[in-house]
Amino acid sequence: MEMDQQKPHIAILPSPGIRHSIPLIELAKLLALHYNFHVTCIMPTIGPPSKAMTTVLEALPISIDRVFLPPVSSEDLHTVHTEIQICRAITLSLPSLRDVFKCLVATTWLAAFVGDVYHVFGCEAFEVAKEFKVMPYVFVSVSATVLSLGLHMPKLDETVQGEFRELPEPLKLPRWSIPIQGRDLLDALLDRQTEWYKLFLSHVKRLRLAERINQTGSSTNHVDESGCISCISWLENQPSGAGNGLPPKVPDGRLRVEVADLTV
């Protein structure tokens, strides 16, 4: 393939499974059809793709390529929790992901890499993008509350003693209008001794590697006078590079409108 100097190329990495892939695939369609990017969807796999996934990918426009990474092999992969399976699958797929990056960097104008943070699993791949001097971006299809919690988890892990589920007082983070009881947090956070908790924490720490965060699907977004929907008002007010570990943020009203109703 000859390098196309006129059309920038974007690589997108969804987490395994159609439930996680659909929001990223819709983003790929938006970038290709409305912004004239060429997109490659890099698909980690745990076994052969499902019929539903194959149908979705075969219907993509010609400006979107798809690359299936070799199925990962691990003796205990199918004996652990689904979320841990996904984490391990992406970790085991990193060598194959590097091979794809080598090819894309050599043959295209690879402008950006977008990782899936539906369950923060794509963050590990940001380090691969950095190796190839490709800017990594975060696409977040979960609520603003979950994103806020993920960004603050490293600090909470350092400062909160004991289990979150046993805290006598509810947690209140900056700009949270309603405190949340520790027992009502994500399942991954209810037992800090588990592998699931440790994996979650290690992945959210990598969020700071992203060049930008684009959040969609949040009921906290609002429309300003220009018609643009801002992303997470409290996050927008955080200064970049202020020692808070937060990357810059990108509000994108059109992305919010196009994608929000399609996320699952």
pLDDT surpasses 80 at 152 = yes
Average pLDDT over every residue of 180-202: 89
Highest mean pLDDT among 16-25, 57-66, 77-86, 124-133 belongs to 57-66
- Catalytically active residues are 20, 116
In this predicted structure, what is the pLDDT of residue 213?
Answer: 67
pLDDT surpasses 70 at 5 = no
pLDDT surpasses 90 at 41 = yes
Residue 78 pLDDT grade (very low, low, confident, very high; cuts 50, 70, 90): low
pLDDT surpasses 90 at 103 = yes
Domain map of the chain by residue range?
A: 9-144+206-262
In this predicted structure, what is the pLDDT of residue 215?
Answer: 61
CB of 110 closer than 8 Å to CB of 7: no
Question: What pTM, to 2 d.p., does this model score?
Answer: 0.72
Q: How far is CA 201 from the centre of its chain?
A: 14
What is the biggest distance separating any 2 CA atoms in the chain, rounded to whole angstroms? 62
For residue 129, give the 3-state DSSP assignment: helix
CA distance 16 to 262: 18
User: Which CATH number among 3.40.50.460, 3.40.50.2000, 3.40.50.20, 3.90.1300.10 corresponds to the domain 9-144+206-262?
Assistant: 3.40.50.2000
Average pLDDT over every residue of 105-122: 78
pLDDT surpasses 70 at 79 = no
pLDDT surpasses 70 at 235 = no
pLDDT surpasses 50 at 115 = yes
Residues 6+ apart with CB under 8 A from 83: 119, 121, 188, 196, 199
